[in-house]
């Protein structure tokens, strides 16, 4: 790879990779993590208001010779994210990537990987809770690995969920309907995805159908929670994207396991599931997949995007860097 840095725009990202391709790229890189050929740095954040936070995550893939960081601040649900990639051979900056679409694809692709591995093979009905900017990609990711016949949408605002349901049907071609209550959305659904900013747990274990797979994707800082502790009681498989992140940042998991080392032993990483080529156990009651977001997932997509950009001659040249000593007076 060239050491000349390029700026990769949101338009470049969208042109260079699709969500199904992102799912494949992510699964390939996560398999490397299980053999210590790739790793994430600990996710860090700082709350800057009651429900607003600044974030930094990163990862390294020794096989590709690239490491990188993604940084952003989320203020009232709005953010502009960037990712910076570096050479592990000489420390050179390789690229700066406008990473809002990348992040949406990464978050969705992570759900796609978990659903592919842990959901019932014949599952074709999804209940989604939340109608924010991540919700449509979440549905698309599930649909990529479990073709859907119906989606039911639950959210607090009736008009928002009606508009969102119409958009899902128009964009993805999946019959989608808004429902008035959470219970109506999740009852008898084999697939449930939570993607909210809720600060109070709302989904209880008794709401979920036997045989259900639950993707819990929204509560990524300690101030947030989406499901109650009794969900763990029914889970035959508990998988996460990053064990360290759920231990540090997930209120749901910290309340459940605390300092119980034996309890934490029951939690698998999705990388270990992939490496062992595991799938949903026969007769499982429910399976639970919790993703906090980790640097390696973003890095996996960014590396793929950089490689494609270089092959296609896309990206915009960044001015050559001229190193100068600081002014001391």
Q: What does the pLDDT look like over 113-163, one tens digit per residue?
A: 999 999 999 999 999 999 998 999 999 999 999 999 999 999 999 999 999
Spatial distance between the Cα atoms of 301 and 293, rounded to a whole number of angstroms: 13
Check the CA dihedral 11-15-19-21 and report its sign: negative
CA-nearest of 80, 71, 73, 82 to 49 is 73
Spatial distance between the Cα atoms of 171 and 193, rounded to a whole number of angstroms: 19
Spatial distance between the Cα atoms of 210 and 43, rounded to a whole number of angstroms: 33
Give the pLDDT score at 2: 53
| pTM score | 0.86
Q: Where in the chain is the domain with CATH 3.30.1780.10?
A: 6-103+295-317
Measured in residues, the chain has a length of 329
> What parts of the chain have a pLDDT lower than 70?
1-3
Give the pLDDT score at 299: 96
Spatial distance between the Cα atoms of 85 and 295, rounded to a whole number of angstroms: 12
Report CA-CA distances (Å) from 202 to 139, 178, 252. Answer: 20, 18, 12
Give the count of beta carbons closer than 10 Å to the beta carbon of residue 211: 18
Strands 286-290 and 150-154: unpaired
Cβ–Cβ < 8 Å for 59, 244: no
Q: Where in the chain is the domain with CATH 3.40.50.720?
A: 115-290
Structure tokens at 177: 């309907």
What is the dotted CATH code of the domain comprising 6-103+295-317? 3.30.1780.10
* pLDDT tens, position by position, 17-54: 999 999 999 998 888 888 888 999 888 889 998 888 99
Sequence-distant (6+) residues with CB within 8 A of 251 are 219, 222, 223, 224, 225
Check the CA dihedral 196-197-202-205 and report its sign: positive
Domain 115-290 annotated CATH 3.40.640.10: no
Spatial distance between the Cα atoms of 310 and 308, rounded to a whole number of angstroms: 5
CA-nearest of 51, 52, 56, 80 to 68 is 56
Q: Please, what is the Cα angle at 54 between 88 and 196, to 5 degrees? A: 110
CA-nearest of 185, 195, 131 to 163 is 131
Cβ–Cβ < 8 Å for 146, 169: no
Spatial distance between the Cα atoms of 225 and 200, rounded to a whole number of angstroms: 5
Alpha helices in 81-209 (DSSP H): 100-118, 135-145, 158-172, 182-186
Structure tokens at 253: 């998991």
Spatial distance between the Cα atoms of 139 and 182, rounded to a whole number of angstroms: 17
Q: What are phi and psi of 324, to 5 degrees?
A: -130, 150
Sequence-distant (6+) residues with CB within 8 A of 91 are none
Structure tokens at 160: 């928002």
Task: Name the 3-class secondary structure at 257.
Answer: helix
Q: What are phi and psi of 98, to 5 degrees?
A: -70, 115
Q: What are phi and psi of 227, to 5 degrees?
A: -130, 155
């Amino acid at each position: 790879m060239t050491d000349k840095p390029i700026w990769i725009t949101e338009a470049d990202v969208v042109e260079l990779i699709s969500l199904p391709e992102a799912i494949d790229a992510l699964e390939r890189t996560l398999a490397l993590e299980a053999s210590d050929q790739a790793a994430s740095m600990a996710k860090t954040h700082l709350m800057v208001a009651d429900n607003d936070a600044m974030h930094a995550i990163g990862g390294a893939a020794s096989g590709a010779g690239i490491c990188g960081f993604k940084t952003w601040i989320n203020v009232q649900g709005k953010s502009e994210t960037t990712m910076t990639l570096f050479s592990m051979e000489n420390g050179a900056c390789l690229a700066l990537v406008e990473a809002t679409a990348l992040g949406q694809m990464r978050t969705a692709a992570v759900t796609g990987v978990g659903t592919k591995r842990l959901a019932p093979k014949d599952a074709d009905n999804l209940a989604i809770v939340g109608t924010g900017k991540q919700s449509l990609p979440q549905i698309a990711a599930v649909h990529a690995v479990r073709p859907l016949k119906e989606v039911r949408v639950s959210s607090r605002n009736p008009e928002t969920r009606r508009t969102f349901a119409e958009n899902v049907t128009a964009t993805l071609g999946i019959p989608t309907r808004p429902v008035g209550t959470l219970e109506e959305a999740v009852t008898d659904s084999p697939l449930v995805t939570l993607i909210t900013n809720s600060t109070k747990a709302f989904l209880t274990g008794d709401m979920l159908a036997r045989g259900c797979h639950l993707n819990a994707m929204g509560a990524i800082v300690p101030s947030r929670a989406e499901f109650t502790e009794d969900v763990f009681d029914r889970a035959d498989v508990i998988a996460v994207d990053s064990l360290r992140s759920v231990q540090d940042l997930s209120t749901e998991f910290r309340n459940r396991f605390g300092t119980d080392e034996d309890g934490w032993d029951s939690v698998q990483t999705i990388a270990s599931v992939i490496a062992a080529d595991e799938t949903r156990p026969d007769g499982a009651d429910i399976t639970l997949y919790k993703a906090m977001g980790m640097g390696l997932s973003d890095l996996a997509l960014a590396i793929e995007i950089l490689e494609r950009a270089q092959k296609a001659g896309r990206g915009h040249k960044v001015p050559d860097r001229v190193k100068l000593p600081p002014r001391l007076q």
